[in-house]
Amino acid sequence: MGEIKKDMVEMKEAPEGYEGRGFFATKLDSVIGMARSNSLWPLPFATSCCGIEFMATASTNYDLARFGMERMSFSPRQADLLMVMGTIAKKMGPILKQVYDQMAEPKWVISVGACASSGGIFDTYSVLQGIDNVIPVDVYVPGCPPRPEQILEGVMKIQELAKSESLRRRNSDEYKRMLEGYNIEVSK
C-alpha cells in the first residue's frame, strides 16, 4: 500500500455545536447522522444495463469509496442502502420486497434509472412499472442509463437525508403509516 499523505485525507466538517478550549459539544443526533452518512453500506441490486453504470461508479475514475461506500454488501442484513438498478420483472417484485424487509433500520433506497423508477421503455405485461409499487423509494436517479455522476449525486442526496433525519424518524407515525401502505412491518 502506498504512503497516505496528509493532503490525501479529507476532513469532514464537524456538526453544528459549541466549541471552547479543549471541548466540543453537539447533539447525539448530529454525531450519529454524520457517522451514518459517511459510512453507508450499499447493496447493489443490479439486473441490467444500469448495473454496468454502477460498476463504473464504483471503480477507479468515479471512486465511490470517496464517500465511505466501498464496502458493498451482498447480504441485506449488513446493508443500509438498497440501490436498485435495472429492469425489474413483476416476478422479481416479491424478491425485491423480501430483500428490503431483511435490511435492518435505518435503511434507504435509491432507484437508479428509468427502468427501476418507472419501467422505462418496457411498458409491457411482465415489467414492474416502478419499484415504488412494492417498496418505498427515497431518491430517484433519472436517465437511461444515468451517468456515474448522476448516481453519485443520488448517493449525496441520501447522505443529506441520513445526516439530517432524526435518530427516531423511523419510529414516527408517518413512517409507520408509509410502510403499512406497502404492507411492510417496521423492524425493531
Quick check: 37 binds ligand SF4 (CB under 6 A)?
no
Give the per-residue SS3 of the chain: CCCCCHHHCCCCCCCCEEEECCEEEECHHHHHHHHHHCCCCEEEEECCHHHHHHHHHHCCCCCHHHHCCCCCCCCHHHCCEEEEECCCEHHHHHHHHHHHHHCCCCCEEEEEHHHHHHCCCCCCCCECCCHHHCCCCCEEECCCCCCHHHHHHHHHHHHHHHHHCCCCHHHCHHHHHHHHHCCCCCCC
Quick check: 119 binds ligand SF4 (CB under 6 A)?
no
Which residue from 14, 31, 55, 144 is in contact with ligand SF4, where contact means CB under 6 A?
144
Name the residue nearer to ligand SF4 (CB basis): 49 or 161.
49
Q: How far apart are CA 98 and CA 187, in angstroms?
A: 13
Whether 130 contacts 101, CB under 8 Å = no
Quick check: 120 binds ligand SF4 (CB under 6 A)?
yes
Name the residue nearer to ligand SF4 (CB basis): 96 or 115.
115
Quick check: 57 binds ligand SF4 (CB under 6 A)?
no
Name the residue nearer to ligand SF4 (CB basis): 50 or 158.
50
The region of 6-14, 45-53, 169-177, 178-186 touching ligand SF4 under the rule CB under 6 A is 45-53
Quick check: 130 binds ligand SF4 (CB under 6 A)?
no
Total number of residues binding ligand SF4 (CB under 6 A)? 11
Quick check: 84 binds ligand SF4 (CB under 6 A)?
no
Quick check: 115 binds ligand SF4 (CB under 6 A)?
yes
- The contact set with ligand SF4 (CB under 6 A) reads 48-50, 86-87, 113-115, 120, 144-145
